[in-house]
Amino acid sequence: MYNVRLSIVASILFVMALPAPARPLPAKITRPLVASDNPNYFKDASGSPLILSGSQTWNTFQDWGTNGSVHRLDFRGFIDFLVAHGHNFTLLWRVEMPKFCGLPTTASAPPDFWVSPHPWQRTGPGNATDGGLKFDLTKFDQSYFDRLRARTQALNDAGIYAGIYLFTGEFLKSFRCSSDGYPFTGANNINGIDDGYTGGAKGLGSINMTAPNATTNLQDAYVEKVIDTVNDLPNVLWVVSEESPLDSVWWNDHHIAHIRTYESRKPHQHPIGYHKRQPGVHTHCTDVAGCDAERNGAPGACAPNTQ
């Protein structure tokens, strides 16, 4: 009897010591998300409803750092983290300023952050307000787009959808400063483009216009370059901007319509996210009713959260 009990205990201990079953590897994404009959969900390549759920941090695409230096994220480690937790969605953020000021990450004396890379070459002549060479807004920095391609591809291979930010109005609205080097301010480019910024934490002249102009022409060229870079990848969701101000509605709609038209000639047509600020309400939308893209027949979904 003693030997039998010992054998049972040993067997139990052996079973308890076995490693937990490995989580099955996620399948590579093969087709873009499409609208489902329920506006709260997308459908995946198999036609099954899909809830996007995941984690993100601000430096998933660009490198961030304080005291004038930036540090590269271990992006492979970040993907492994997402996969280990069963996540299927993340965001690839973009901050438009080489430097942004006063991010409230500390109880007092909020620090300034430096950010790279950026879409355009810094050729000069002359220096921008952040100390680097001025931007030439007609010349793209290919390394920026190569990184975007590589990271979006890596997420696709891991079965993770990527919300790609094209612009980030939140930072233009709250974290500007006289030394931020923002490419669309006249002191920071060699192309005569000027958003009219003169100082303070807010500078919105590049996103609150109500008709096409020289700035939107350059933004359109940048958006087309981004689409050319990753359109063939099926895991893409576009996000025009994070928390843009209320007076940026025309600008948001302009870019949604432009993306939809430009992608109509491409292999894939991806969902487009619209995050619009309203008094008392945060509205996260994907081609919401009333947007140009929805009128053009794009899939739609909207999730407002009252604050």
Which two tokens mark 86? Answer: 């069963």
Closest by alpha carbon to 67, among 116, 111, 118?
111
**β 236-239/272-278 pair status:** parallel
Instruction: State pTM to two decimals.
Output: 0.85
The pLDDT of residue 10 is above 50? no
Average of pLDDT values for 221-238? Answer: 98
The pLDDT of residue 307 is above 50? no
CATH topology of domain 34-306: TIM Barrel (3.20.20)
Residue 274's pLDDT band, with cuts at 50, 70 and 90, is confident
Closest by alpha carbon to 118, among 61, 170, 201, 202?
61
The pLDDT of residue 287 is above 70? no
The pLDDT of residue 47 is above 60? yes
The pLDDT of residue 222 is above 80? yes
Average of pLDDT values for 179-195? Answer: 98
The CA–CA distances, whole Å, from 9 to 15, 16, 103 equal: 10, 11, 57
How far apart are alpha carbons 196 and 204 in whole angstroms? 9
**Residues 137/249/290/281 CA torsion (nearest 10 deg):** 130
pLDDT tens track for 247-259: 999 999 999 999 9
The pLDDT of residue 13 is above 70? no
Angle of helix 214-230 relative to helix 142-157, nearest 10 degrees? 40
The pLDDT of residue 300 is above 60? no
Average of pLDDT values for 137-160? Answer: 98
pLDDT at residue 45 in the model: 82
Average of pLDDT values for 128-138? Answer: 98
pLDDT at residue 194 in the model: 98
Extents of the domains making up the chain = 34-306
Average of pLDDT values for 136-154? Answer: 98
pLDDT at residue 24 in the model: 63
Share of the chain above pLDDT 90, in %: 73
Average of pLDDT values for 263-268? Answer: 97
pLDDT at residue 251 in the model: 96
Rounded mean pLDDT of the chain? 85
pLDDT at residue 23 in the model: 56
Average of pLDDT values for 92-96? Answer: 97
pLDDT at residue 22 in the model: 55
Closest by alpha carbon to 68, among 101, 92, 90, 39?
101
**β 113-116/99-100 pair status:** antiparallel
The DSSP output letter for 58 is: T
Query: Which of 300 and 66 is assigned the larger pLDDT?
Result: 66
Average of pLDDT values for 20-29? Answer: 68
pLDDT at residue 243 in the model: 85
Spell out the residues 6+ positions from residue 268 whose beta carbon is closer than 8 angstroms to its own.
32, 231, 232, 233, 234, 236
In the block, tokens 């490693």 appear at 19
Task: Enumerate the β-bridge partners of residue 272.
Answer: 238
The pLDDT of residue 206 is above 90? yes
